[in-house]
């Protein structure tokens, strides 16, 4: 007898994993519009650029050293090095490296990062399979980015209420789907791999509250799962089949059926949610960005920052919980992770320096008295109007700055890098140049141009592994 879930799916027979696998396993680049292909390549470029900056971030080389010491079959590359390790551990390190600076993409409506699990998994899969072409890599990236975006858009409960980080939780499935498509698994194998991924899926928000380095490791765990799950499926190990909508599937077990099954399926194969991904101009939590943009808009009107008496910032509840509490930590962060998740610190940095860059999110920068003085005068609150209209998304910010010469205010709804406020091609390339400089490695002068050319032509490349040729010192 069929069991009806509260979301209205026939749990005995229907599961989105089958529908998505049927679509994804048969996807060809020839089926995709130039816009979709370009969106996938933009994510490859940005995610791997962010990884170069993450190379020198706390914890990354520790993890790279650990997996190198473990050894194993030299299947895939730890990016920015010539070290080769088993594919799952390469994807694990590369996922951490991509996310370490919190500079990577976001889906502002779904509230997640998409590429940091998908790209490391897809590239590692391309290294495992010499027959995988550039077109296979692009198709795999499309599949993975689309799955994580759809899962996020269909989930109606926010990350603060659920306690899960959707980047990593949904990233386990997205990385698995991406790797499966690169490896050319058939629909049955892909569905099985998604079920195997379900046995590993996790990712919590407590890491952000505790400023844990595992915040930046979680997407790497998801990327690692993608390679493990596809390898297990290829040798015939059976996983769950009703992964998303079964009686004990993801949506009931993790979210108490608070999702929209129609939104999950809407336009599958014809419209792509991931083309709405946003990209970051500032290396910190996306919840900070509207407040930073508003502060920068106010800066010419304010003049001397020393004249500022108070700063007040209104955001939605998700943003308040993620980047405003506890207030004493957010006003005086003691670690880079705490600073990355602080509206008071990043707004103060923007007002003092005229921007928020990688140098502002470093251990050396955290003790600057002029920034800490402004951060100490910053008060954040939940804006009821913003919460009512924008409760599930990246929050707008209303910033009010009280000075000796008057009070000035500005509101930003769509931060820079959003699809309604896009970064330019030159912005992306300047961002990569900054990441290369932050890596501490000695890169050839033409690295950005060389990597850009490789990614631009990736769908025509004979090998998907060729993308790594652009990141060799």
Rg from Cα positions in the chain: 22
Mean pLDDT of the chain: 96
Kindly tell me if the per-residue pLDDT of 444 is higher than 90.
Answer: yes
For 16-276, which CATH superfamily applies? 2-methylcitrate dehydratase PrpD (1.10.4100.10)
Band of residue 13 on the pLDDT scale cut at 50, 70, 90: low
pTM exceeding 0.75: yes
**Cα(266)–Cα(271) distance, integer angstroms:** 8
**Cα(86)–Cα(221) distance, integer angstroms:** 14
The arithmetic mean of pLDDT across residues 253-278, rounded, is 98
* Tens digits of residue pLDDT in 161-213: 999 999 999 999 999 999 999 999 999 999 999 999 999 999 999 999 999 99
List own/partner pairs for 360-369 with CB under 8 A and 24 or more apart: 361/101, 361/102, 361/283, 361/284, 361/336, 362/336, 363/335, 363/336, 365/339, 366/333, 366/334, 366/335, 366/336, 366/339
Kindly tell me if the per-residue pLDDT of 11 is higher than 60.
Answer: no
Q: What is the pLDDT of residue 7?
A: 44
Length of the chain: 473
Q: Which distant-in-sequence residues (6+ apart) come within 8 Å of 122 by Cβ? A: 137, 140, 141, 144, 175, 178, 179, 181, 182, 464
Kindly tell me if the per-residue pLDDT of 215 is higher than 70.
Answer: yes
180: which 2 tokens? 């499966």
**Cα(399)–Cα(127) distance, integer angstroms:** 47
The arithmetic mean of pLDDT across residues 207-234, rounded, is 97
209: which 2 tokens? 């509250």
Tell me, yes or no, if the two domains 16-276 and 286-412 fold the same way.
no
- For the domain made up of 286-412, the CATH class stated in words is alpha beta
* Tens digits of residue pLDDT in 105-116: 999 999 999 999
The arithmetic mean of pLDDT across residues 34-54, rounded, is 98
* Tens digits of residue pLDDT in 358-367: 999 999 999 9
**Cα(161)–Cα(419) distance, integer angstroms:** 26
Bridge partners (DSSP) of residue 399 are 313, 410
**Cα(430)–Cα(441) distance, integer angstroms:** 17
Domain boundaries, the chain: 16-276, 286-412
């Amino acid at each position: 007898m069929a069991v009806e879930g509260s979301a209205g799916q026939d749990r005995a027979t229907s599961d989105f994993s089958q529908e998505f696998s049927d679509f994804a396993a048969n996807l060809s680049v020839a089926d995709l519009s130039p816009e979709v292909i370009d969106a996938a390549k933009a994510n490859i470029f940005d995610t791997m650029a962010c990884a170069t900056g993450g190379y020198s971030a706390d914890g990354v080389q520790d993890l790279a050293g650990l997996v190198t010491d473990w050894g194993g079959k030299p299947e895939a590359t730890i990016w920015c090095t010539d070290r080769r390790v088993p594919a799952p551990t390469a994807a694990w390190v590369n996922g951490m490296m991509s996310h370490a600076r919190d500079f990577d993409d976001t889906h502002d409506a779904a509230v997640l990062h998409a590429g940091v699990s998908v790209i490391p998994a897809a590239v590692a899969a391309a290294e495992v399979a010499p027959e995988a072409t550039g077109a296979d890599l692009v198709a795999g990236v499309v599949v993975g980015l689309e799955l994580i975006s759809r899962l996020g858009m269909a989930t109606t409960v926010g990350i603060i209420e659920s306690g899960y980080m959707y980047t990593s939780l949904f990233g386990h499935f997205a990385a698995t789907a991406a790797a499966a498509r690169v490896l050319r698994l058939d629909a049955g194998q892909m569905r099985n791999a998604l079920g195997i991924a379900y046995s590993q899926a996790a990712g919590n928000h407590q890491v952000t509250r505790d400023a844990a380095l595992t915040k930046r490791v979680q997407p790497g765990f998801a990327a690692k799962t993608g390679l493990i799950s596809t390898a297990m499926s290829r040798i015939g190990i059976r996983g769950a089949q009703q992964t998303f909508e079964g009686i004990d599937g993801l949506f009931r077990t993790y979210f108490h059926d608070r999702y929209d099954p129609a939104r999950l399926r809407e336009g599958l194969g014809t419209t792509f949610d991931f083309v709405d991904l946003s990209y970051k101009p500032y290396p910190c939590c996306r919840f900070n960005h509207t407040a930073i943009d508003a502060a920068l808009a106010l800066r010419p009107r304010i003049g001397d920052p020393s004249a500022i008496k108070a700063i007040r910032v209104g955001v939605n509840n998700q943003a308040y919980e993620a980047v405003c509490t506890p207030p004493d930590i957010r006003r005086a962060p003691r670690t880079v992770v705490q600073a990355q998740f602080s509206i008071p610190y990043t707004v103060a940095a923007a007002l003092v320096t005229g921007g928020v860059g990688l140098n502002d999110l470093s251990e050396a920068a955290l003790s600057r008295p002029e920034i800490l003085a402004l951060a100490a005068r910053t008060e954040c609150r939940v804006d009821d109007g913003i919460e009512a209209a924008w409760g599930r998304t990246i929050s707008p910010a209303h910033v009010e700055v009280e000075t000796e010469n008057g009070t000035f205010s500005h509101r930003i709804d769509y931060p820079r890098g959003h699809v309604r406020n896009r970064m330019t091609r030159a912005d992306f390339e300047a961002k990569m140049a900054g990441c290369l400089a932050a890596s501490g490695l000695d890169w050839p002068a033409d690295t950005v141009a060389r990597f850009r050319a490789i990614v631009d032509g990736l769908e025509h490349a004979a090998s998907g592994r060729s993308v790594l040729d652009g990141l060799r010192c």
